[in-house]
Amino acid sequence: MKFIARQAALTAIFVAALYGMLLAITFIVQPDPPRDGRIDLWTAGRTIYLTLPKYAFLGRDALDVPEPKILLLGASNTGVGFRQTQLQALVPCAKVSNLAIGSANITELRQMIDLVHDVQSDAARRSDTFVFGLWFGMFVDTALRWPDPDRQLGDTDLDIERYRYGFYRRGKDGPVAVLPPSWLRVGVMLIRPYLLFEKVTRDVTEGLRRALYTHTPERTDAQREAHVETAAEKADALQYWRRSMGNAKTISADQVALLRDMIGGLLQSGNKVVLVDLPIPKWLGDASQYQPGYVAAMQGLVDHFAGRPGFADLTMPDLTASEDFSDEVHPKPHVARVWVARLAETLNSALCPAQPPHGAAGTGRNADRFRQSIPMNKEFHDG
């Protein structure tokens, strides 16, 4: 046994020494992103986290600040449509974070909120305003959204990050935290060599992964502005979204119910919620079998929460022209600025009443109630 103990000790010492050296190198090569109570997941590529879900999971403790915060939740059209820097410039009285993750469904939004709450103090939680950017493509059950064979069925992108470094383990009733959320920062510091390794590996193998995934190349803003969707692209997009919705007949009732519970719970806790019905091109709305169910569900939600303090909704029905979009869901950059202005208008009316309007107001029916809820958070403004 002494031989085994000696070799085990030698191996442990060498591993620890090497790991320590690598850890020190990571701080020189890739410093942490600034921690000022804001996160823009869409800058993940420039950070050590590299991917949006990883940045969300590992960097979320930056949101543990008591100042008013606006947390944008949604899928890629929320990420692209409400650029954090643009919205922050128009809503100066709160810290804006864009927590939208590409391909997210409602379950993943719920997970994002839970993960943020896990690392926030009570004071930080109470000053959260959640903006939900929604469209029909988000109302799909997790197993249908991600049927990939290289993940455990039912795992969202956030789940994968939970398990990847052992911060969570699989329990019978879902993920179980191995590392207490209060230790997140220490845990993230310790895994920095992994993060840097992954970043380098991803950069090196980008060509191979593009070939395997048959991804279309990234487009610049100028290309997005110039693009006009062809008839063939529209047909492909319809087919793509049918597959992405798991070929279901309509949107998932479970996801609608989950959203309703989520909003109810947040309002109950004193948070503010803005429900944004994101525009999609009219041709897609007319042709998709999912849009009628989505419209009805959104109407039901707005009716249900109408009049509740802290709730507001925003729709932009005048922005559904085909030429406003660079594909079937994402607004062109100049249109995104209009989206941002309208959301800023809604948010400022409640959070920053002194701010002048920046654009045409949305058609949400609950802006007044949203304003009325300000006293609920008075203590934070004062404090």
Q: Considering the rule CB under 8 A, would residue 380 count as an interface residue with another protein? A: no
Q: Considering the rule CB under 8 A, would residue 155 count as an interface residue with another protein? A: yes
Residue placing its CB nearer to another protein in the complex, 122 or 148: 148
Could you give the C-alpha distances from 207 to 85, 148, 195, 213, in angstroms and in order? 30, 20, 20, 10
Residue placing its CB nearer to another protein in the complex, 22 or 248: 22
Rg value, the chain, Cα: 22
Q: Least distance from C-beta 195 to another protein, angstroms?
A: 9
Stretch of residues binding another protein (CB under 8 A), selected from 10-18, 72-80, 95-103, 351-359: 10-18
Q: Considering the rule CB under 8 A, would residue 173 count as an interface residue with another protein? A: no
Please pick, from the candidates 108, 127, 165, 283, the single residue that binds another protein as defined by CB under 8 A: 165
DSSP 8-19: HHHHHHHHHHHH
| Unique residue bearing structure tokens 């009325």 | 372
Task: Enter the tokens of residue 204.
Answer: 């090196």
Q: Considering the rule CB under 8 A, would residue 148 count as an interface residue with another protein? A: yes
Residues of span 85-104 touching another protein by CB under 8 A: none
Query: Do the Cβ atoms of 333 and 221 come closer than 8 Å?
Result: yes
Q: Considering the rule CB under 8 A, would residue 6 count as an interface residue with another protein? A: yes
Given CA atoms 377, 120, 302, 330 in this order, what sign does their dihedral have?
positive
Q: Least distance from C-beta 147 to another protein, angstroms?
A: 5
Q: Considering the rule CB under 8 A, would residue 1 count as an interface residue with another protein? A: yes
E-assigned strand segments in 278-370: 311-315
Stretch of residues binding another protein (CB under 8 A), selected from 84-92, 119-127, 150-158, 279-287: 150-158
Query: Do the Cβ atoms of 275 and 132 come closer than 8 Å?
Result: yes
Q: How deeply is 118 buried, as exposed, middle or buried, from its count of CB atoms within 10 A (0-12, 13-18, 19+)? A: middle
78: enclosing H helix or E strand: helix 76-81
Residues of span 230-249 touching another protein by CB under 8 A: 243
Contacts with another protein, 194-213, as mask; x by CB under 8 A = x--xx--x------x---xx
Name the phi and psi angles at 276, rounded to 5: -110, 120
Q: Least distance from C-beta 245 to another protein, angstroms?
A: 13
Q: Is 315 helix (H, G, I), strand (E, B) or coil?
A: strand
Total of chain residues touching another protein, rule CB under 8 A: 36
Query: Do the Cβ atoms of 345 and 362 come closer than 8 Å?
Result: yes
Q: Considering the rule CB under 8 A, would residue 15 count as an interface residue with another protein? A: yes
Stretch of residues binding another protein (CB under 8 A), selected from 76-84, 161-169, 358-366, 372-380: 161-169
Residues of span 18-37 touching another protein by CB under 8 A: 18-19, 22
Q: Considering the rule CB under 8 A, would residue 152 count as an interface residue with another protein? A: yes
Task: Enter the tokens of residue 241.
Answer: 């979204």
Per the document, the length of the chain is 383
Query: Do the Cβ atoms of 329 and 280 come closer than 8 Å?
Result: yes
Q: Least distance from C-beta 23 to another protein, angstroms?
A: 11
Q: In the complex, which residues of this chain contact another protein (CB under 8 A)?
A: 1, 3-4, 6-8, 10-11, 14-15, 17-19, 22, 147-152, 155, 160, 164-166, 191, 193-194, 197-198, 201, 208, 212-214, 243
